[in-house]
Structure 1
């Protein structure tokens, strides 16, 4: 009788341990939004810092939108790949900016300025492999995505009725303009 009681008590713990292992492995492919304050201690303050902080720099074409924050892109050119895992024509998933409370020079950056990639358009991305799934993330939030087509500054970021330019907008525009000087 005591033997059956012990088995009865131990069995739920054993079974829950087994099911937790399955849940854990499925979590590795599940994307969870992480507040940007946990993703970035600070953002790059120059183009050189952006390039140094980014293990991967690629030119891509957006293929489709997998969900609200995950985009599929096709690699057209590899400018830098310290991982040596990417090839031209590879399709990768990129988690677009969805963070809040990102700091630049000690000041919070509103995330509603981020303009998501559009299907069929080409972009230069500064990315790294994600630590929470089989995808890639922007290394420096909104500073990590630039259209390769020349467009007016007003079309690069969502303005949402804001007047005047902040220091992060100026840095974004400077990096964008420098792409065409090389």
Structure 2
């Protein structure tokens, strides 16, 4: 009798614990976007720092827009993957820039400069796994996404009112030009020799 009474008392707690686990697990599949100010204390100030800060560097083709901030991309080439979880042709979801100001060299940078990826186009991304779901985030906001095709500098970022080029724009253009030069022989999507 005591045995059945003990089971009757303990069983609801066990079942309650199991149902809480399922709730948490299902929550992890949904992205709860944090403001950029919470994701980035500051941005990389060089290409070396960007590469060091990024556990994953991949060349991708954007497939579609899953929602306002989430983009589906297909991995074409893996340049770096410290997680060792990605494979060529994997389709992953990447959270694109979503909002508020971040810091570069101690100065705030407006986020209306970020230009989202376009479907069917190829990009080099510097990313990390998200802490809030089964997706990926840019490691250094707008500094983490570069088209692999040659594009005029003025078309890389969204239009803005400033007539002078800021430090962060100069850094973005420098990294972009370096990537183009480095990948010149394979620039137009010859992905036959990944990794």
Q: 1:24: how far off?
A: 2.8
What is the CA–CA distance in structure 1 between the aligned matches of 2:21 and 2:51, rounded to whole Å? 38
Q: Is the 8 A contact 1:33 1:99 kept in 2?
A: no
**Equivalent residue, structure 1, for 2:135:** 135
User: Which residue matches 1:178?
Assistant: 178
Aligned to 1:161: 161
CA contact (8 A) 1:34 1:99 kept: no
Structure 1: state its 5+ residue gaps: 1-13
**TM-score (normalizing by structure 2):** 0.82
Matches within 5 A, 1:108-123: 108-123=108-123
Aligned length: 170
Q: Secondary structure at the match of 2:181?
A: coil
1:18 deviates by 7.4
- In 2, the alpha carbon distance for the partners of 1:16 and 1:99 equals 38
Provide closer, same or farther for how the CA distance between residues 99 and 15 of structure 1 changes in structure 2, counting only shifts above 3 A. Answer: farther
- Rate the CA distance shift 1:150–1:38 in 2: closer, same or farther, 3 A: same
Q: CA deviation at 1:42?
A: 1.1
In structure 2, the partner of 1:42 is 42
Q: Where has structure 1 moved over 4 Å in runs of 4 or more?
A: 14-22
Report SS of the residue matched to 1:180: helix
Alignment-derived partner of residue 57 in structure 2? 57
CA contact (8 A) 1:63 1:120 kept: yes
Partner SS for 2:83: coil
